[in-house]
Amino acid sequence: MTSRRTKIAMYSFRLTFFVHCYYYNICLYYHLFVPSVRSFDGPRKIMNEKVQIGTSIRHLDEYKISCLHQFTKKELNMDAVAQWNYHINKTEVTENEALRSSIRLFLYQKLLLTSAENMSIALGMNYEDLLPLVYFMHDRGICQLNLDEYKTTIMLKRKLITTINELTVCEYRKTNHLCDIKADDFPNEIDYYMEPYLYNQGRLNADKMYEGIRPLYLHIYTHIRKILRKKFGTATLSAHGPIPVHLLGSVLGQPWTKLVPFIVQELVIHKNSKINSKTPKRLFDQANRFFVSIGMGCVPKSVWSHSVFIENKNFCNIVPTSLDMYANNDYRVKMGFKNTIEDVYTMHKQLGLVHYFAAYKKQPIAYQHTSDSAFVYGVINALTLSVRYQDFIDRYNDSVNSRHIYLLQLAMEKVTVLPFAYAVDIWQSDTSSRSFAPKHMNNLWWSKRFKYEGVMSPISKDMDKCTNPNYKPFDPSLAYAEVIELPHIKDFLGPIIEFQVFKALCTICGEYKSKHARTKHLYECNLRGYKKVGKIIKSVMSRGSSTKWQFLFETIVGHQRIEIEPLLEYFQPLHNHLIKTNHETNEHIGWK
């Protein structure tokens, strides 16, 4: 009965929507794009029109485009409201409404694209010039799908995300069907996702970047293995072998930051007793003051009142999210406040995204998006780097030891993810080839992770097969980004861009000079109070998606080359310290 009602409801929705589309299409052409019929009043009337045609037609075209953008803005706002309601209050009703809204927006985009050629004729515009003005969906590749393919795609992704968020972890070797994840299809989208980085980059450059980062990673890896070996014993972890991945804090082994409390406790740094616990409002105001200090102004007052900062059981997922609602100054943040150090950085990042939304609002609606995600990650996180260091020093007494701890825990977040992202990117590329046999996917996963990260599976697959003949491991499904098809190359490039942007901003402000790095290290740079920073960042953010990210990157850095040197420069004091400490205990560097 329920199924029948659902089908009737969906049929009713489709009928209503397509009638709406049909009516809208007529309005679009005849009220916006078809010029009104003029009566013939003789030569004098024609001459007057020729005199005025240059300006009037231009204003008329601008008005038509403006009207089109208003229609699009309304559709985007309706979708944003539906998605927001689902994000903060996941119920069957909000989930269905979010799904219907996504489908409606997809169909609206398809309508504009199929109408674009006729629009260009009516407006007297070149088709190639008009197309970007109607292509408002950020992921243009999705528009190549038909309706059924699109529905299947978003429903599958939503199901996978829900499965991950509600996953029950079962006792080892006592699994049942309720705990199994089944993911049969992983479409080949590697080439599509790599396209933005082939403008100036290629895999050869990524190879060189990995090789350049490897010496720093090896010493971090060796140091962490030494600490883990001290805790778990040589029977569990040898002095020269790989690390069983689960010892790094999770079944996936990423991120290593879950080890930070243990590492800090082991190396003993003294907490500043003056630090008081934070509240969401205090964190919000603290982050706001930082952006005001660099000349980016306050976020609209409605951001606080419309946002949700206390996690509840109805959140669709725990990932912090910022949304542009495509209404007047309506931007919203969803994050679960837990009164941890990470909350400080998360709040700064989310308000940084709100500033991004506000900055690009003068762009046409089609360009009101953030730029490439790796670039956006780099810019927003670069702004928070100085906040992270100052906040750490405020929490702990400043000393050489506490500075090493700060750099180590940051490296466990920013550096150790690079070999992981690189290994998974290569795995994705290899498994997408037509000649690759799917039955080898799991073995290839661990061979790549061993080669580039020095980690291994926590259990013996052969032993499990003896216990359970039907056991078919697919460990890549543990990676959230892998399941929902997020390209790992962005996780590789994002941190590298972050430190490159940070060094450029510090250099512009005069807070850092490479030739004086021994007296003032890059990590000590404090961007607070420098209006130059806000001016540069706002100019970049204001372009939205209208400009390729490489040119925006050049605006900040001065060129388009992605370089690892700023990251290595930032962690150089830690690298020197680890070389010394690893040598003192005669550690085997790396694994075999």
Rounded Cα–Cα distance for residues 143 and 137 (Å)? 8
Express each pLDDT in 196-242 by its tens digit.
Answer: 665 444 444 788 899 999 999 999 999 999 999 988 898 889 999 99
Pick the more confident residue, 333 or 488.
333
Work out the average pLDDT over 24-38: 39
Residue-level length of the chain = 592
Rounded Cα–Cα distance for residues 27 and 18 (Å)? 14
pLDDT in the model for residue 113: 83
Work out the average pLDDT over 411-433: 88
What is the pLDDT of the chain when averaged over all its residues? 79
CB-based contact 209:504 (threshold 8 Å): no
Rounded Cα–Cα distance for residues 332 and 303 (Å)? 5
CB-based contact 182:540 (threshold 8 Å): no
Pick the more confident residue, 478 or 533.
533
Rounded Cα–Cα distance for residues 328 and 350 (Å)? 19
pTM recorded for the entire structure = 0.81
The residue whose two tokens read 């996941």 is: 90
pLDDT in the model for residue 361: 92
DSSP assignments along 265-332, one per residue: HHH--PBPTTPPPP-HHHHHHHHHHHHHHTT--PPPTHHHHH-B-S--TT-S-SS-EEEE-SSTT-EE
Query: What is residue 140's DSSP assignment?
Result: G
What percentage of the chain has pLDDT greater than the value 70?
74
CB-based contact 57:124 (threshold 8 Å): yes
Pick the more confident residue, 278 or 460.
278
pLDDT in the model for residue 147: 83
Work out the average pLDDT over 520-537: 94
336, 480, 392, 222 alpha-carbon torsion, rounded to 10°? 150
CB-based contact 277:343 (threshold 8 Å): no
- Two tokens, residue 514: 């490479």
pLDDT in the model for residue 80: 94
pLDDT in the model for residue 43: 38
DSSP H helix total and E strand total for the chain: 22, 4
Q: Is the pLDDT of residue 32 over 70?
A: no
Q: Is the pLDDT of residue 508 over 90?
A: yes
Query: What is residue 333's DSSP assignment?
Result: E
- Give every CB contact of residue 229 below 8 A, 6+ residues apart in sequence: 236, 237, 238, 239
Element (H, E) at 588: none
Express each pLDDT in 160-172 by its tens digit.
Answer: 666 655 554 444 4
Give the 3-state secondary structure of residue 456: strand
What percentage of the chain has pLDDT greater than the value 90?
40
Of 2-6, 116-120, 367-371, 475-479, the one with minimum mean pLDDT is: 2-6
pLDDT in the model for residue 126: 79
- Give every CB contact of residue 583 below 8 A, 6+ residues apart in sequence: none
| Band of pLDDT at residue 303, cut at 50, 70 and 90 | very high
Residue type, 239: A
Work out the average pLDDT over 430-457: 84
Rounded Cα–Cα distance for residues 433 and 585 (Å)? 45
| Band of pLDDT at residue 145, cut at 50, 70 and 90 | confident
Burial category of 248 from C-beta neighbours within 10 Å (exposed 0-12, middle 13-18, buried 19 and up): buried
Work out the average pLDDT over 50-61: 44
Residues pairing with 322 in the sheet:
333
Work out the average pLDDT over 266-273: 52
